[in-house]
A and B are shown apart, each in its own frame.
Chain A
Amino acid sequence: MRRLLFSLAIVLLVASTWIGLTQGQIAPLQRNILYAHVPNAVCALLCFVVLLVASAGCLVTGRQGWDLLAAASAEAGFVFATLLNATGMLFSRAEWNVWWTPSPRLVTSAILWFLYAVYLILRVSLPGSPYRRARICAVFGIIAFLDVPLVFVSARFIPDIHRPSFSFDSPWQTAAMMLGMAGTALLAAGLIWLRTSLLRDSGELERELLQ
């Protein structure tokens, strides 16, 4: 089932790339990186929503599964936030001739990346019982999410060199973008699933070794 998910994601991403390279090219050439940049941005934010839901679930129910889901979504989110900032920097360099500039959206994307990074460091640094660690990480996840509305708000309402959305010239471009979104979202779901089950297995192994 998971293999199917990953295969489908790869098929969609390849299709998106192929359409983007042939029928759906955006002029000038460097703007084609948007086919990778926008889906990564969407997925980096979606992972944060999963992180919030999982953190809240962990605090409410106290079940370990929610904690593992939160950890997995933070790991996946970190990957997508890294890709988001990396592709964004390449685009920015080609389009505006600077690698980075403190414009609101670029600042908020950087903050998103830092939040994921700190979450992952917090997870490995906290000693003691896994329950205590799960609760503290959940608290950080919720407080960190309170910072995220800024990302959404700034991306919509604030005048900036960074455009909030692109208008497409042809249906091919829309198709390439939508396929890219779907493929990246499936990839994110697959990664979260994979990491959740791996974390569960490693936790069980640890408990068995302790006994």
Chain B
Amino acid sequence: MSGLWRGFWAIIIKDIVVELRARQVLPTMVILGMLIVFILRMASEPGSAGVGGPVMGVAALWIAFLFSGLLAQERSFAAEQQNGCMDGLLLAPLDVGTIYLAKLLANVIMLTIFEAIVVPMALIAFNLHVTGGWLRLAAVLLLGNLGISSVGTLFSAAVQLARTRGSLLGIVVLVILVPMLIPATFALLALFGAMPVETQDFASLHSSGSLAFVGSFKAAIGYMLAFDAVFVVASWLLFGVVVEE
């Protein structure tokens, strides 16, 4: 057991040290995320005064997380392609699932640092007020972060050999994450006060479309937890299949 933990931490620390020395990914992620927020802020000028602010702000946040997350995930296995690093990792006396979990945690850490920088910026840019509490905001962001990273880390290892790996990883991860983004969007909208935390009356929410079926903030958190659990466990189990030669 202690051997497993040592390997687990060794991979995470390796990834963090590589990032600290080369500074390849995080600066790019942050700048991309800030640009997404900036562009959407420019685009949302007419509607940003009323309820349009939170709507566009939430859209900007999830788009920024998804695309910047993709950058981190793609790099996390691209770096292993050189000098046969991937073979080295696979030859290490570790369960392949442990390699996946370590890579996943490294990606979650990257995305968390990214969120710590970009979320305050989006709050300022869109003039958002966190009416639902900061702790809940952190919980929603962390759950979204874990969901995005879980699928991304699995398929990053799968698409590395493809010529179009960046765009391929993009469509694969985005299409699988769409169902999770519905409750995720609901949760953030509720936290920014643009949507009632509890929706009892479906008829009155007719215009909110697929968001209405989430029901309540608690249910949104439940959906996100379920998606995260399913994605993490399935990816952990299937990772070995993806990387074996």
Q: Which residues of A contact B (CB under 8 A)?
A: 59, 101-104, 106-108, 111, 114-115, 117-118, 121-122, 125-128, 132, 135-136, 138-140, 142-144, 146-147, 150, 154, 158-161
Assuming A59-B241, A121-B168, A122-B168, is B162 touching A111 (CB within 8 A)?
no
- A127 proximity list for chain B (CB < 8 A): 161-163
Q: List 6 A-B contacts (CB under 8 A).
A: A114-B175, A117-B175, A118-B171, A135-B244, A136-B159, A144-B176
Q: Shortest CB–CB separation between residue A78 and chain B, in angstroms?
A: 13
Which residues in A have their C-beta under 8 angstroms from that of B171? 118, 121
Q: Which are the 3 A-B pairs with shortest beta-carbon distances?
A: A102-B209, A107-B210, A136-B158
- Apart from A136-B158, A143-B234, A143-B238, list 10 A-B contacts with CB within 8 A: A102-B210, A117-B175, A122-B172, A126-B159, A126-B161, A127-B162, A140-B155, A140-B172, A142-B238, A146-B234
- B81 CB, min distance to chain A CBs, angstroms: 13
B154 on the A face (CB < 8 A): yes
Q: Are B238 and A111 in contact (CB under 8 A)?
A: no
Within 8 A of A (CB), among B205-245: 206, 209-213, 230-231, 234-235, 238, 241-242, 244-245
Task: Decide if A128 touches B161 in the complex (CB within 8 Å).
Answer: yes
Output the residue of B151, B154, B206, B210 with the most chain A CB within 10 A.
B210
Query: In the bound complex, how far is the Cα of B234 from the Cα of A132, in angstroms?
Result: 18
**How long is the Cα–Cα vector from A127 to B179 in the complex, in angstroms?**
29
Residue contact B172 to A118, C-beta cutoff 8 Å: yes
Chain B interface residue count, CB cutoff 8 Å, equals: 33
Alpha-carbon gap, A128 to B179, bound state (A)? 31
Interchain nearest-CB distance for B34 vs A (Å): 28
Q: Report if B1 contacts A (CB, 8 A).
A: no
Compute how far the CA of A140 lies from the CA of B154 in the bound complex, rounded to whole angstroms. Answer: 10
In the assembled complex, B5 has its CB within 8 A of some CB on chain A: no
Tell me whether chain A's interface is mostly helix, strand or loop, or mixed. helix
B164 within 8 A of A: yes
Q: Which residues of B contact A107 (CB under 8 A)?
A: 182, 209-210
Chain A residues closer than 8 Å to B241, beta-carbon distance: 59, 135, 138-139
Residues facing A in B158-206 (CB within 8 A) are: 158-159, 161-164, 168, 171-172, 175-176, 178-179, 182, 202, 206
In Å, the complex CA distance between A122 and B155 comes to 11
Minimum C-beta distance from B240 to chain A (A): 10
Measured between beta carbons, the chain A residues less than 8 angstroms from B210 are: 102-104, 106-107
What's the Cα separation between A194 and B159 when bound, in Å?
A: 29
Complex Cα spacing A106 to B154, Å: 29
Q: Which residues of B contact A147 (CB under 8 A)?
A: 176, 178-179
- Which B-chain residue is minimally distant from A58 (CB atoms)? B241
**Among the listed A101, A126, A142, A159, which residue makes an inter-chain contact with B209, where contact means beta carbons less than 8 Å apart?**
A101
Contact A111 B213 (CB under 8 A): no
Choice from B151, B163, B231, B242 contacting A136 with Cβ under 8 Å: B242
Report yes or no: A146 in contact with B230, Cβ–Cβ below 8 A.
Answer: yes
A147 to B172 alpha-carbon distance, docked (Å):
13
Interface members, chain B 130-166 (any A CB < 8 Å) = 151, 154-155, 158-159, 161-164
**Closest Cβ–Cβ distance, residue B80 to chain A (whole Å):** 16
Q: Are B168 and A125 interface neighbours, CB within 8 A?
A: yes
Q: Is the CB of B213 within 8 A of A104?
A: yes
Cβ B178 vs Cβ A114 within 8 A: yes
Contact assessment for B175 and A118 in the assembled complex, using a CB-CB cutoff below 8 Å: yes
Chain B, residue nearest A140 (CB): B172
Cβ distance A48 to chain B, nearest Cβ, rounded Å: 14
